[in-house]
Structure 1
Amino acid sequence: MPDVSITRYDVRPDMGRHLVLDPRSLAYRRRYTGDPIYPTEWAPKVPVLDQQNLIAQGIRTSQLTDGATDDVDALGSCTGNAATVAISVLHTAGSLATAGLDVADPVAAEAWAIGLYSDATHRDQWHDDAWPTVDCGSSGLGVAKALRQRGLIDQYGHATTAEELCMLLQTGPVLAGLPWYAAWMEPVGQYALLDEIPGWQSSEIAGGHEVCVTALEHVAYLPTGGLDYERTILRARNSWSSSWGDGGSFRFSLALYQAVRDQADLIQPRLDSSR
């Protein structure tokens, strides 16, 4: 077992990400080399997912994976949900169907994401629990390993700076693990930034959460030539239904990422070979 750094968060029915950093991952860091950064957007093929209200959606967790005995109404499966969004960008609908992911059916897609979450909990070998039957949470690193084990990606790269995050978004979506503040549970206004929610810095951290960053909406530069963190805006897809935020998504600035960077991790699943 490598000497990994682990920060655990309370697992809740709406979030279950832990921060797991493996020093070996730095060899796969995508360093920023000064290339131009442009606004970009990636369109997920899956509809907005919902890791809550599972029974109302018709999802019976007791029927999804071997070993599950009870139906639960929500899971801390945000890593599986975020990774499902990312994968739906990288593959065609046909290749996703071959992998068992029906992008036209939100219920089937959520069930598939739960199965991926289960795989991720088993890949996170730093703890003894796994789903089923323990909703123990997982990590961005664990779900990236699960995607690779399934043959859905060739590799995954890491970013550790705001510039590297923007550079990764030039080539595809990025999984972002964040400390999720209580004030962020409901963005104020359809298009509001998390930054604009009053007092978020002083609110408690509700847990760890994984989302998929799908767009670099606006890029701004300082007169000195560096990125203007406050005016460079990203959009991310959440997994709390399309009624949350802006149709299931939210926005935040690079300045906010900088503020939480010590508890954040960024992983980009990559599919470099042709399919």
Structure 2
Amino acid sequence: MYDMTARQRALDLYASGLTFSQVSRATGISRFSIRQWASRAAPSPRMTIECPARDSRLDPSRPQADYAYLLGLYLGDGCISEGRRRVFALRIACCDAWPGLILECERAISAVMPHNRVSRVHAPGCTSVVSTSKHWPCLFPQHGPGPKHLRPIRLTPWQQEIVDAHPWEFLRGLIHSDGCRITNWTTRTVGGVKKRYEYPRYFFTNTSTDIIGLFTATLDAVGVQWKPASRSNGGFNISIARKDSVALMDAHIGPKY
């Protein structure tokens, strides 16, 4: 992959009268690439896009808030798989019960990688939002072989800076992937009469201790109180039930839709 500066220099040298071989020796770029560029009036944006994660930071032209949200979705229900010619597919699995989530996922992917097509792959009860690029592992260095809960999941310094700057977007992505907002109820006897009381709460469930740690650390940073809840079939469950904390979550996240 070559950036626009390198491509334009090669085209300028070719336009000056040098042969493909001479331009190749002068620039270190293959003759095949130079010939392809010269045969087109202008390279397409898809071919000329640079890596969006360079110099240990996210390219400032990419919206950091959308990236924080997409990072939460990826850590919850996302995966990256390698195809031919080292082109990688990002897949975010979304439940069909939440069409708004599917739209939000598509919007975030398009904002972070605007020159790449976003498509849907349907399965019973589920839709995977998919986009291919050579640079998805650069954007999500947590990618690796095997399930996430079987390998360390750590944020790079530049990712942590984005999460620190946009904690609610990150939490929203995590809740939209592996969380929910529900209404619990309980009964109390008042004056001899049993009354039913309902109250909202948020849950987040994941099998990775590292991802749970990222979630709870970000909750701490925004002042949301939480506690672990029991889970009979494995994994970790985080409950947010205090009235003021639920109000904070409602103001910034809300239920899925």
**TM score, norm. by length of structure 1:** 0.25
**TM score, norm. by length of structure 2:** 0.26
Greater radius of gyration (CA) = 2
Structure that is richer in strand per residue = 2
